[in-house]
């Protein structure tokens, strides 16, 4: 999730047009389109396989301090706590941030090619593994915490998470699991115009369940099989339904920036940030804030930063800010970190590929898209759709994505184009075996139902 820092005051919002204009300002010509990849990892003590707390000799704070000392990161503070890291002047470093349960996240830089994403990912993992080894701390990429209960999971000292923790149980049964026990890979991509945004948003929403199936990697809960291939995705189905889901209005006539603004205004707020402090506004209306009627700040009107903050508290399967954020994939081993942006860049950044992807999904109904979203967490690639399966659809989608990446002609030092990062997904789609399937086989076979082996075989 986003990390807020104090800075110069942003402009006051004068009208609804300012909200629309802020999103529209994200438009970029194709030459300026970039790729931003985010990936989260669960952090554990390598000797006891227990989750890592924020404080202590072998802790999250110790890990952050070691990254500052060894690799030149700069701290981002909330009060007297380090809650994130940045590194000035490094275009491929991004920021390091903490999710509520200590999930360690790299929010990558805005990069031109997937080859740069691979370099960024390797550099990040080298650094965290280096300092982690000294502290007896390991990292694992899965979609859901495989062993620890919610009570055993630590809480990170971020004020906004305290507000969300209080609010989540009032709007769904799985909100705390989402916050504290899930991990994901996400990718942020650009658009050229309102029409381009709408087309990309429609395609990526429709195909998000296909990505969920390909990346399914969370079949365990508290050391046992949970009956799902992607428990992370299942958890999202009962996490504050007003701010999650497949956004059926996106496919309706008249969709554009204004329609998304109307949706965002309909979603209750979490907080307002003022003077280094998060003010609990959970359940309040941003429209009331616009009208100067927010009970927590009577007479005060929001700034552009408040609007930006509010948009980060919306969690649909694809999120619109000044870019599009694809949110459907479980976390996983490092090759999957590059595979997810490859999947979406191939589909969305080449015009012919985008047209082909749209032709594939344009006649899917809202009911069909929702049914697909609801079924995939349990059955992944074997999910039935019309007269076919998600596995067959994924093969066609990957063919389109590969053509799109080859058309970009971005070549690395080994004379490979970006389609090389799809090889892993092609193997999944053609074999019909997800990472979740492989984990289940190991658990029921050589692991003898002992979950601790997952840390030995699948840690970074």
Q: Specify the long-range contacts of residues 230-233, CB closer than 8 Å, at least 24 apart.
A: 230/143, 230/330, 230/376, 230/377, 230/380, 230/436, 231/143, 231/144, 231/182, 231/377, 232/143, 232/144, 232/182, 232/183, 232/184, 232/330, 232/331, 233/143, 233/328, 233/330, 233/376, 233/377
Contact at 8 Å (CB) between 54 and 146? no
H-assigned helices in 270-315: 286-290, 304-311
pLDDT 10s digits, 148-160 = 999 999 999 999 9
Tokens of 46: 């390598």
Q: What is the CATH number of the domain that holds 382?
A: 3.30.590.20
pLDDT higher than threshold 80 for residue 198: yes
Burial of 339 (0-12, 13-18, 19+ CB in 10 A): buried
Q: Is residue 139 part of a domain?
A: yes
CA distance linking residue 245 with residue 405, whole number of Å:
28
In a domain, 10, yes or no: no
Task: Give the count of beta carbons closer than 10 Å to the beta carbon of residue 404.
Answer: 27
Rg (CA), the chain: 21
Helix (H, G, I), strand (E, B) or coil at 199: helix
452: number of Cβ within 10 Å: 11
Q: Cα 142 from chain centroid?
A: 13
Closest CA to 71 of 137, 4, 123, 2: 123
CB 268 within 8 A of CB 282: yes
The answer to whether residue 5 sits within a structural domain is no
How does residue 6 score in pLDDT terms, banded at 50, 70 and 90? low
For 358-391, the pLDDT digits (tens) are 999 999 999 999 999 999 999 999 999 999 999 9
Domains held by the chain: number: 1
Residue 153 within a domain: yes
**Domain presence at residue 4:** no
User: Of 1-10, 120-129, 216-225, 308-317, which range is least confident?
Assistant: 1-10
Query: pLDDT exceeding 90 applies to what percent of the chain?
Result: 97
pLDDT at residue 458 greater than cutoff 90:
yes
Is 3 within the bounds of a domain? Answer: no
User: What per-residue confidence (pLDDT) applies to 8?
Assistant: 76
Mean pLDDT of the region 17-23: 98
**Token pair in block for residue 27:** 């438009």
- Residue 211 structure tokens: 């990505």
Q: What is the pLDDT of residue 293?
A: 97
Burial class of residue 392 in the structure, from the number of CB atoms within 10 Å of its CB (0-12 exposed, 13-18 middle, 19+ buried): middle
Cα 70 to Cα 294: distance, rounded to the nearest angstrom:
45
DSSP-derived letter for residue 249 is: G
How many other C-beta atoms can be found within 10 angstroms of the C-beta atom of residue 222? 15
Kindly report the average pLDDT of the chain as a whole number: 97
Nearest of 225, 131, 155, 185 to residue 341 by alpha carbon: 185
Structural domain including 178 reads 16-458
> Of the candidates 273, 282, 83, which has an alpha carbon nearest to the alpha carbon of residue 168?
282
Give the pLDDT score at 1. Answer: 60
pLDDT for the residue 92: 72
Tell me what the mean pLDDT of segment 163-184 comes to: 98
What is the rounded average pLDDT of the residues 44-53?
98
Residue with tokens 């929010």: 107
Tens of pLDDT, residue by residue over 227-273, are 999 999 999 999 999 999 999 999 999 999 999 999 999 999 999 99
- Going 447 to 39 to 366 to 392, the CA torsion angle's sign is negative
Q: What integer is the mean pLDDT of 336-365?
A: 98
Tally the C-alpha atoms within 13 A of residue 442's C-alpha that lie toward its C-beta: 18
Q: Is 213 in contact with 394 (CB distance < 8 Å)? A: yes
Element (H or E) spanning 100, and its range? none
Please tell me the predicted confidence (pLDDT) of residue 2. 63
- Binned at pLDDT 50, 70 and 90, residue 4 comes out as low
Residue 327 lies in a domain: yes
- Report pLDDT for 93: 78
Per-residue confidence at 187, pLDDT binned at 50, 70, 90?
very high
Whether residue 2 lies inside any domain: the answer is no
């Amino acid at each position: 999730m986003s990390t807020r820092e104090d800075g110069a005051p942003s402009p006051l919002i004068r009208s609804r047009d300012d909200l629309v204009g802020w999103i529209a300002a994200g438009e970029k010509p194709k030459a300026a389109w970039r790729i931003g990849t985010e990936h989260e990892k669960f952090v554990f003590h390598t000797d006891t396989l227990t989750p890592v707390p924020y404080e202590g000799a072998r802790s999250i704070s110790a890990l952050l301090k070691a990254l500052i000392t060894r690799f030149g990161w700069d701290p981002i503070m909330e009060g007297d706590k380090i809650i994130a890291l940045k590194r000035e002047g490094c275009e491929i470093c991004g920021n390091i941030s903490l999710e509520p349960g200590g999930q360690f996240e790299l929010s990558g830089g805005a990069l031109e090619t997937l080859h740069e994403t691979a370099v960024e990912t390797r550099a990040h993992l080298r650094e965290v593994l280096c300092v982690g080894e000294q502290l007896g701390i390991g990292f694992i990429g899965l979609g859901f915490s495989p062993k620890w209960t919610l009570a055993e999971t630590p809480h990170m000292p971020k004020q906004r998470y305290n507000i969300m923790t209080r609010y989540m149980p009032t709007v769904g049964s799985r909100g705390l699991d989402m916050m504290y026990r899930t991990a994901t890979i996400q990718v942020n991509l650009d658009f050229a115009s309102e029409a381009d945004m709408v087309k990309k948003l429609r395609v990526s929403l429709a195909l998000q369940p296909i990505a969920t199936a390909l990346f399914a990697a969370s079949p365990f809960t508290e050391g046992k099989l949970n009956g799902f291939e992607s428990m992370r995705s299942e958890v999202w189905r009962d996490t504050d339904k007003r701010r999650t889901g497949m956004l059926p209005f996106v496919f309706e006539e008249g969709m554009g920036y204004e329609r998304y603004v109307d949706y965002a205004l309909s979603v209750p707020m979490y907080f307002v940030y003022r003077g280094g402090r998060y003010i609990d506004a959970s359940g309040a209306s941003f429209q009331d804030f616009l009208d100067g009627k927010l009970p927590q700040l009577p007479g005060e009107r929001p700034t552009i930063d408040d609007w930006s903050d509010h948009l980060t508290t919306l969690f649909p399967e694809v999120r619109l800010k000044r870019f599009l954020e694809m949110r459907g994939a479980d976390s996983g081993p490092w090759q999957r970190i590059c595979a997810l942006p490859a999947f979406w860049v191939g589909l969305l950044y080449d015009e012919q590929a985008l047209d082909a992807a749209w032709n594939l999904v344009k006649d899917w109904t809202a009911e069909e898209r929702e049914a697909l979203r609801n079924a995939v967490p349990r059955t992944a690639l074997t999910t039935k759709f019309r007269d076919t399966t998600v596995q067959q659809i994924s093969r066609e989608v990957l063919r389109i994505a590969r053509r799109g990446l080859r058309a970009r002609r971005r070549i690395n030092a080994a004379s490979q184009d970006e389609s090389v990062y799809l090889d892993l997904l092609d193997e999944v789609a053609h074999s019909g075996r997800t990472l979740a399937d492989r984990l289940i086989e190991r658990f029921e076979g050589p692991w003898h139902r002992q979950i601790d082996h997952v840390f030995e075989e699948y840690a970074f």
